[in-house]
Amino acid sequence: MSKEVLSAISPSYELATYSTPELRDLFNDWLCEIEKEALIFLKGKTIVDPEMVARHLRLERESTIFILNKLARQGDIDLQVPRK
């Protein structure tokens, strides 16, 4: 999963270095709204897979994994990889 997260972060970081402060602010505003929507969707659920969240948010799986990892780093959700 770490490889997937890094692949989602790298292009975003590259774009951020070329963007204007206005575009970065707009992106951060959008990201905050997506995070809120994800938290509402996840509320009360004990187990979900990234594909389910991606479909709900209408985002690609890699973008969703990035958002879920960000929410986990902030302490908003508990993210665990299931054992097989």
What are the pLDDT digits (tens) for 22-43? 988 998 999 999 999 999 999 9
Task: Name the domain count of the chain.
Answer: 1
Split at pLDDT 50, 70, 90, the class of 80 is: confident
Half-sphere exposure of 10 (CA within 13 A, CB side): 6
Assess if residue 79 is contained within a domain: no
Assess if residue 80 is contained within a domain: no
Assess if residue 61 is contained within a domain: yes
CA distances to 19, 21, 33 from 72, in Å: 26, 26, 16
The more confident residue out of 57 and 3 is: 57
Per the structure, the complete domain to which residue 12 belongs is given by: 2-73
Q: Encoding tokens for residue 60?
A: 């690609």
Assess if residue 51 is contained within a domain: yes
Assess if residue 82 is contained within a domain: no
Assess if residue 13 is contained within a domain: yes
Assess if residue 31 is contained within a domain: yes
Split at pLDDT 50, 70, 90, the class of 65 is: very high
